[in-house]
Amino acid sequence: MIHISFEFKDEAWGGANQFLKSLKNEFIKLGVHTDKLDKASHVLFNSHHNAGIIRRLKTELPHLKFVHRVDGPMKLYNSSQDQRDDLVLFYFRNGANHASAYTQSKLISENIKWNLRINKKKIKALLINARNANAFTGKDGFKGLKILADCLSQEY
């Protein structure tokens, strides 16, 4: 059973709230959700919500598997004056299963179009640009994505 550690709001309240509410409803339909930690085998938590509680639970309940939902886009550094790029590359030596969830927006950026065309079940690398969700837009954006993908596929 899966427990989602998140303080839900009834009204529309940010992407995490909307996404996790939808996910919870799907888990309920599948019969795999529980609101009770003592019935759970897995705990899904959002990247920066209730970090102290999650840390305590990991210590108190080491038999549970904790699944971290990476929330984005977000700024990785604390200071708004920090000019470092929020660019992260994850490498998965043995590959990793992937899943994506998107909003229902009618305007779809090139990176979303690219992701929707992926038909492989496993990925070897994941490149995240956390600072600017509007990067790689239009025809030039698609070309930029192609260059990055080609470089990463040669390297990994």
pLDDT digits (tens, 9 = 90+) for 55-73: 888 899 989 988 877 555 4
Task: Tell whether 54 and 103 lie within a shared domain.
Answer: no
Q: What is the pLDDT of residue 49?
A: 66
**Structural domain span for residue 30:** 2-69
User: Is 44 inside any structural domain?
Assistant: yes
Provide, rounded to the nearest whole percent, the portion of the chain with pLDDT above 70: 77
Task: Tell whether 65 and 100 lie within a shared domain.
Answer: no
Tokens 């990247």 map to which residue?
Answer: 47
User: Is 79 inside any structural domain?
Assistant: no
User: Is 46 inside any structural domain?
Assistant: yes
Number of domains in the chain: 2
User: Is 74 inside any structural domain?
Assistant: no
Task: Tell whether 63 and 101 lie within a shared domain.
Answer: no
User: Span 75-95, mean pLDDT?
Assistant: 66
Give yes or no for residue 75 having a pLDDT over 60.
Answer: no
Question: In angstroms, rounded to a whole number, what is the distance separating the alpha carbons of residues 12 and 19?
Answer: 10
End-to-end Cα separation, the chain, in angstroms: 35
User: Is 81 inside any structural domain?
Assistant: no
User: Is 17 inside any structural domain?
Assistant: yes
Give yes or no for residue 50 having a pLDDT over 90.
Answer: no
Q: For 98-144, what is each residue's pLDDT tens digit?
A: 777 776 777 777 877 888 887 777 888 877 765 555 667 778 888 88
Average of per-residue pLDDT values in the chain: 78
DSSP string, 107-119: ---HHHHHHHT--
User: Is 78 inside any structural domain?
Assistant: no
User: Is 40 inside any structural domain?
Assistant: yes
Look up residue 1 and give its two tokens.
Answer: 């059973």
Question: In angstroms, rounded to a whole number, what is the distance separating the alpha carbons of residues 72 and 125?
Answer: 17
- On whether the pTM is more than 0.95, the answer is no
CB of 69 closer than 8 Å to CB of 47? yes
User: Span 24-37, mean pLDDT?
Assistant: 92
User: Which of 69, 99, 127 delimits the end of a domain?
Assistant: 69
User: Which of 43, 69, 95 delimits the end of a domain?
Assistant: 69
Task: Tell whether 19 and 63 lie within a shared domain.
Answer: yes
